[in-house]
């Protein structure tokens, strides 16, 4: 999955970017498609978000790092109880963005993180 800002609010476009619906390399995929779709995503269509939590990593051992942001994701709980996590840097890699199902979160947390991330309700 690729995400990018196609156009700003003022109508500006990134250099050499064509609109997504005109890009010959991209095509839409229905999330309920039996071959390319995700059954779990198909099941949550139309549901409302009932709770949001911030995912925050443990306090760093070095005091100079304590000033840096440690928020690494958001947990969206849907009315069915299904939880979806949108995360950047949960695995310690700054450029990684993940959409994670709740039952998959442990595989994204490196073993050198001593404590699991905190979940802070908002």
Between these two residues, 36 and 8, which has the higher pLDDT value?
36
In a domain, 45, yes or no: yes
**pLDDT(117) > 90:** no
What is the per-residue pLDDT across 41-80, written as a single tens digit (0 to 9) for each? 888 988 999 999 988 877 666 677 677 777 888 899 999 9
In a domain, 60, yes or no: yes
In a domain, 22, yes or no: no
In a domain, 96, yes or no: yes
Left, alpha or beta for 11 (phi > 0: left; psi -120 to 50: alpha)?
A: left
Provide the number of structural domains found in the chain.
1
- Mean pLDDT along residues 94-119: 73
In a domain, 6, yes or no: no
Between these two residues, 82 and 15, which has the higher pLDDT value?
82
Q: What is the pLDDT of residue 113?
A: 65
| Percent over 70 (pLDDT), the chain | 73
- Domain span at 75: 35-121
In a domain, 79, yes or no: yes
Report the b/e string of 52-83 with b at 16+ CB within 10 A.
ebbbebeeeeeeeeeeeebebbebbbbeeeeb
In a domain, 27, yes or no: no
């Amino acid at each position: 999955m690729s995400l990018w800002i196609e156009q700003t609010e003022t109508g500006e476009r990134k250099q050499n970017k064509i609109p997504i619906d005109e890009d010959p390399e991209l095509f839409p995929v229905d999330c309920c498609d039996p071959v390319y779709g995700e059954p779990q995503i198909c099941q949550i269509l139309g549901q409302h978000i009932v709770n949001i939590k911030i995912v925050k990593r443990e306090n760093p051992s070095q005091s100079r790092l304590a000033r840096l942001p440690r928020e690494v994701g958001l947990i969206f709980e849907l009315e069915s109880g299904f939880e979806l996590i949108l995360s950047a840097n949960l695995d310690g890699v700054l450029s990684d963005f993940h959409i994670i199902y709740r039952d998959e979160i442990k595989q994204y947390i490196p073993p050198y993180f001593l404590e699991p991330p905190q979940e802070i309700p908002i």
